[in-house]
Amino acid sequence: MSVLTVAELNRAVAANLERSFPLMRVRGEIAQLTRAASGHWYFSLRDAAASVRAVMFKGKSAVLDWQPKEGDQVEVAAVVTLYEPRGDFQLRVESMVRSGQGALFEAFLARKEKLAKAGLLDDARKRPLPESMACVGLVTSLGAAALRDIVVTLTQSAPRIRLRLYPSLVQGQDAPAMLISQLARADQDPDVDVILLARGGGSLEDLWAFNDEGLAMAIVQCRHPVIVGVGHETDVTIADLVADYRAATPTAAAQRIAAPDIAARQRLAEFSRANAVMMRRRWEAAQQRLDLSVQRLRSPSERLRERVQRVAALGLAMRAAMSARAANARAIAQRQAAQLTALDPTAILRRGYAMVLDETASVVTDAGRVADDQALKVQLSKGLLEVRVQKRHLPDDAG
């Protein structure tokens, strides 16, 4: 047998109690009521024979529209549990009504059972809400806080959705008939996509109009889907149970209606963010390509400057080549001139030599080919002499 610590024992007992005793209703008189600074209420429920400790946490007590006091006869919906640090058996109260409403609650349970047997509470019977709603037929009171909450929520979350108001009493003897009439009017409106039946919180007696069997049947018979948002989160009415969609509060009902628009905006925002990231990446890639292109692509002025420099260099080279060729040509010309000068007969004549020509202007180079008394011309460096041969002197070897 294992040995438990005290904490383990209390934890096991608490878990067993909560499993063994589901939510139940308990009637008794309030005693030893304490309202803590935290907003929690601590008290006892007692009758003539016994008492039990109870706690109602702030989230539950805050929704009551009346202030319990010691000596009040009440009915609570509670879970049996254990306060583990002290091992105290207690009730955790989820909701509370005055004891005089007990008969109403019994009637509520009987009506709920009747409609459940008829299959009107089955989820399979209920119609799905449209994926997108453009016009909502709102059946509620003109003075209800629920109307303001719905208008504010839809204006902020889905401003495109139109509200078509069908005002009705939401409390009192005449409320059920008026709710049924306005529900039928909204159902006949060709522009309406969905009907919202709403009112704020209250006691079981305040909300009794929404437990009317005729109203339940009218909701079931509507052609359009019906959303019911009545009271606070812990309030449950017959209208809630037969509705195609039950919202915990009127604000929650408006949020459900606006949900497709909210989701669409979120998808659009995500798409915009993704598109912005993609565009930024494309822009960065384009910038990199541009930078690379700029590195490869020189400006026209730079290319022109390089061409000017190249032309200038070619000009210098051409001038150098031309100068070299000119110098070479001058040297050749000078050599040729020197050669010509050396071969020039006048140059020879200027050195004192003479050139002898016969009558045919042929140069006489052989005395043996000249006759005595032959007329000859002697060309000097300056001038010409006409002479006659008086005597010839031939070389010794002439024979």
How confident is the model over 315-339, as a mean pLDDT? 80
Predicted confidence at residue 177, as pLDDT, reads: 96
How confident is the model over 306-319, as a mean pLDDT? 82
The CA distance from 116 to 216, in Å, is 12
Give the number of other Cβ atoms within 10 Å of residue 298's Cβ: 12
How confident is the model over 338-365, as a mean pLDDT? 78
Give the closest residue to 129 by CA, choosing from 243, 225, 241.
225
Predicted confidence at residue 281, as pLDDT, reads: 87
Whether the CB-CB separation of 153 and 254 falls below 8 Å is answered with yes
Q: Does 333 or 70 have the greater pLDDT score? A: 70
- Reported as a pLDDT band with limits 50, 70 and 90, residue 184 is very high
Which range among 49-58, 289-298, 388-397 shows the weakest confidence by mean pLDDT?
289-298
The CA distance from 64 to 42, in Å, is 15
Whether the CB-CB separation of 179 and 207 falls below 8 Å is answered with no
The CA distance from 375 to 370, in Å, is 9
φ/ψ of residue 249, rounded to 5: -145, 165
The percent of residues above 70 in pLDDT, for the chain, comes to 96
Predicted confidence at residue 370, as pLDDT, reads: 87
Whether the CB-CB separation of 146 and 197 falls below 8 Å is answered with no
Which range among 218-222, 253-257, 360-364 shows the weakest confidence by mean pLDDT?
360-364
The tokens for 230 are 């009545």
Predicted confidence at residue 100, as pLDDT, reads: 62
The CA distance from 265 to 160, in Å, is 12
Predicted confidence at residue 195, as pLDDT, reads: 96
Burial (CB < 10 A; 0-12, 13-18, 19+), residue 309, is exposed
- Reported as a pLDDT band with limits 50, 70 and 90, residue 389 is confident
**Average pLDDT across the chain, whole number:** 86
The percent of residues above 90 in pLDDT, for the chain, comes to 36
How far are the Cα atoms of 12, 335, 336, 342, 347 from residue 330, in angstroms, in the given order? 126, 8, 10, 18, 22
- Reported as a pLDDT band with limits 50, 70 and 90, residue 297 is low
Judged against a pLDDT cut of 50, whether residue 78 lies above it is answered with yes
Q: Does 319 or 52 have the greater pLDDT score? A: 52
Judged against a pLDDT cut of 90, whether residue 5 lies above it is answered with no
Separate counts of helices (H) and strands (E) for the chain: 10, 13
The CA distance from 16 to 38, in Å, is 28
How far are the Cα atoms of 100, 177, 238 from residue 169, in angstroms, in the given order? 24, 9, 17
Judged against a pLDDT cut of 50, whether residue 37 lies above it is answered with yes
Predicted confidence at residue 299, as pLDDT, reads: 67
Judged against a pLDDT cut of 70, whether residue 351 lies above it is answered with yes
Partners of 375 in beta bridges: 388
Give the number of other Cβ atoms within 10 Å of residue 277's Cβ: 10
The tokens for 260 are 């497709």
How confident is the model over 309-332, as a mean pLDDT? 81
The CA distance from 182 to 223, in Å, is 14
- Reported as a pLDDT band with limits 50, 70 and 90, residue 32 is very high
> What SS3 class is residue 294?
helix
Judged against a pLDDT cut of 70, whether residue 204 lies above it is answered with yes
- Reported as a pLDDT band with limits 50, 70 and 90, residue 178 is very high
How confident is the model over 187-215, as a mean pLDDT? 91
Q: Does 361 or 184 have the greater pLDDT score? A: 184
Predicted confidence at residue 135, as pLDDT, reads: 95
Whether the CB-CB separation of 239 and 197 falls below 8 Å is answered with yes
Predicted confidence at residue 399, as pLDDT, reads: 46
The CA distance from 52 to 101, in Å, is 21
Judged against a pLDDT cut of 70, whether residue 102 lies above it is answered with no
- Reported as a pLDDT band with limits 50, 70 and 90, residue 221 is very high
